[in-house]
């Protein structure tokens, strides 16, 4: 999996940072998931290799404008480009009303199958390869963070052992990889699990919505391989950040530390900070959680 940040600013865009949006490019299939869609997101996408028609899911954390005002434009442009692939939109209660109202009042529509799911705490969606869990954040409006769990992948067949045991290649290899029993031409019955290597553990990614510190965050980020957390203001302005439902650099680092996360990426930085301030903000985090990185617009991170 690969994360690409399309917007890393807070509240309003600046010359260096657009407002929030993150794309998750899956490794299993050539599709992307979008987390939030602030104003100008579709313009940012044009500067990447991401294909709007291959964005199959959008997860909205909350209904503040810097996280959703780019959504109507993205949906209508996706339609105008004649994309036919289905799209599922997840978000807090009210997301359906927002989308339907903006499309209706602007005389717009979507030309592809679209499902809107209003989420609550718990499992949001699950398929054969991933599960997404939502947890409530501490913010002035209803807001969620998302935990994306990649399921374990079956281990590969032990080719050397199969050869040593005189098992010839053939279509029965598929059954063996599923752990099934196979009867060979010479009458031998072999058990697939005897030849399957240990499963490959899936990765876990946590993307927080806007929030001041909350116990739910520790559950959401527990032992995550990668955690994305807002760091709207510096440590000296922590009280102001918390009063508006946001976190400081130090508070984001403490969540990563206490949750046992392996890596932290900070984003959602106030427009008051220009590029020269970034090393200082990053240093505040690394003093507590050394494995911290800072996202900039178009930053790429691999899991």
Q: Which residues are annotated as a binding site for Zn(2+)?
A: 62, 64, 66-67, 139, 210, 268
Residues in the chain: 303
What residues contact residue 191 under an 8 Å CB cut-off, 6+ apart?
179, 181
Among the listed residues 36, 66, 165, 225, the single catalytic one is 66
Give how far Cα 234 sits from Cα of 20, 135, 206, 251, Å.
18, 25, 22, 10
Whether residue 66 lies in the annotated active site? yes
Give how far Cα 280 sits from Cα of 25, 264, 275, Å.
30, 16, 10
β-pairing, 189-191 vs 130-136, is unpaired
Annotated binding site: 62, 64, 66-67, 139, 210, 268
β-pairing, 226-230 vs 264-267, is parallel
Give how far Cα 248 sits from Cα of 63, 172, 191, 261, 267, Å.
21, 56, 55, 18, 11
137-149 in b/e form (b: 16+ CB < 10 A) is: bbbeebbbbbbbb
Active site residues: 66
């Amino acid at each position: 999996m690969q994360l690409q940040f399309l917007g890393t600013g807070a509240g309003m865009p600046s010359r260096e940072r657009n407002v929030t949006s993150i794309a998750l490019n899956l490794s299993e299939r050539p599709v992307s998931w979008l987390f939030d869609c602030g104003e100008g997101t579709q313009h940012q996408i044009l500067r990447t290799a991401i294909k709007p028609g291959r964005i199959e899911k959008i997860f909205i954390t909350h209904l503040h404008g810097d996280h959703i005002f780019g959504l109507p434009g993205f949906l209508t442009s996706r339609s105008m480009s004649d994309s036919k692939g289905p799209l599922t939109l997840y978000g807090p209660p009210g997301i359906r009303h927002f989308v339907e109202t903006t499309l209706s009042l602007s005389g717009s529509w979507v030309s592809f199958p679209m499902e809107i799911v209003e989420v609550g705490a718990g499992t949001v969606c699950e398929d054969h390869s991933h599960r997404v869990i939502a947890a409530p954040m501490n913010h002035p409006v209803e807001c969620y963070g998302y935990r994306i769990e990649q399921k374990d992948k079956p281990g590969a067949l032990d080719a050397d052992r199969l050869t040593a045991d005189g098992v010839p290649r053939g279509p029965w290899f598929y059954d063996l990889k599923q752990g099934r029993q196979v009867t060979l031409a010479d009458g031998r019955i072999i058990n697939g699990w005897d030849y399957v290597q240990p499963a490959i553990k899936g990765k876990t990614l946590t993307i927080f919505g806007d929030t001041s510190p909350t116990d739910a965050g520790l559950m959401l980020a527990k032992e995550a391989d990668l955690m994305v957390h807002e760091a709207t203001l510096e440590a000296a302005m922590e009280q102001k950040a918390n009063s508006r439902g946001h976190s400081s650099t130090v508070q984001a680092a403490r969540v990563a530390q206490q949750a046992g996360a392996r890596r932290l990426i900070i984003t959602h930085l106030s427009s008051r900070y220009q590029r020269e301030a970034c090393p200082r903000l990053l240093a505040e985090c690394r003093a507590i959680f050394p494995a911290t990185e800072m996202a900039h617009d178009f930053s790429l991170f691999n899991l």
